[in-house]
């Protein structure tokens, strides 16, 4: 069983790539870090720690994460963002390792792919054989963010400035999937990758 990390930048098509992996290889197992984080944020004990780290306003009445407030704080407060990540990332890694171990016990699983947005930023190591990156040009990222999310130019630039440049992720990757043009091009690249036994 191949163990792979998958990442990309915002609006590069990482989620689309995951969809194609699942479509083209029915025996692949995918771990989604975003889903893991969402699950953690629904747990009372986790929310209590988040409240201690970031203040009372981070949790709404009824014990629900104040996502909008926290997102805005993390965007502007690098120190707080680091504290939250230092707490959450090990929990996500633990969740990932548990999912990996479950996949290893299933002899039909061809590969395990961990979809982790902050794969390189968080030095997310779970014993993977290789790291995959889905990428586009900076210009395409900007166009997609404006068209998909309706952001203005200043907001787009601020978002991209807060992230590790996609060019850096490309250099860190073992395999790069280029997602410019029609999505059929991305699908074809993933198909070849699978046919080559994930080499």
Tokens of 62: 């009824």
Model confidence at 199: pLDDT above 70? no
Residue with tokens 């747990």: 43
184-193: pLDDT as tens digits? 999 999 999 9
Q: How far apart are CA 169 and CA 165, in angstroms?
A: 7
Q: Which fold has domain 2-195?
A: Rossmann fold (3.40.50)
How far is residue 55 from each of residues 42, 52, 89, 90, measured CA to CA in Å?
A: 17, 6, 20, 21
pLDDT, residue 152, reads: 84
Residue with tokens 């963002």: 81
0.85 cut: is pTM over it? yes
Taking residues 131-137, report their average pLDDT: 96
Tokens of 149: 């999310």
Cα 8–Cα 121–Cα 97 angle in degrees, nearest 5: 85
140-187: pLDDT as tens digits? 999 998 988 888 888 888 888 888 999 999 999 999 999 998 999 999
Tokens of 21: 């992996």
Q: Could you give the percent of the chain with pLDDT greater than 90?
A: 77
Residue with tokens 């191949």: 2
Q: Are 129 and 6 in contact (CB under 8 A)?
A: no
């Amino acid at each position: 069983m191949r163990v792979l990390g998958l990442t990309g930048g915002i609006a590069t098509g990482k989620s689309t790539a995951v969809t194609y992996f699942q479509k083209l290889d029915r025996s692949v197992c995918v771990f989604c870090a975003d889903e893991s984080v969402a699950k953690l944020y629904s747990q009372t004990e986790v929310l209590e720690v988040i409240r201690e780290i970031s203040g009372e306003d981070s949790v709404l009445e009824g014990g629900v994460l104040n996502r909008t407030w926290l997102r805005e704080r993390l965007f502007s407060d690098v120190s707080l963002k680091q504290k939250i990540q230092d707490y959450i990332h090990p929990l996500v890694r633990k969740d990932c390792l548990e999912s990996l171990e479950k996949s290893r016990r299933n002899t039909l699983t061809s590969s395990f792919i961990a979809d982790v947005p902050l794969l390189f930023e968080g030095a997310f190591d779970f014993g993977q054989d290789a790291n995959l990156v889905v990428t586009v040009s900076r210009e395409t990222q900007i166009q997609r963010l404006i068209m998909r999310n309706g952001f203005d130019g200043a907001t787009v630039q601020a978002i991209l400035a807060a992230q590790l440049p996609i060019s850096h992720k490309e250099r860190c990757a073992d395999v790069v999937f280029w997602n410019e043009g029609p999505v059929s091009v991305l699908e074809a690249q993933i198909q070849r990758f699978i046919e080559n036994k994930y080499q």
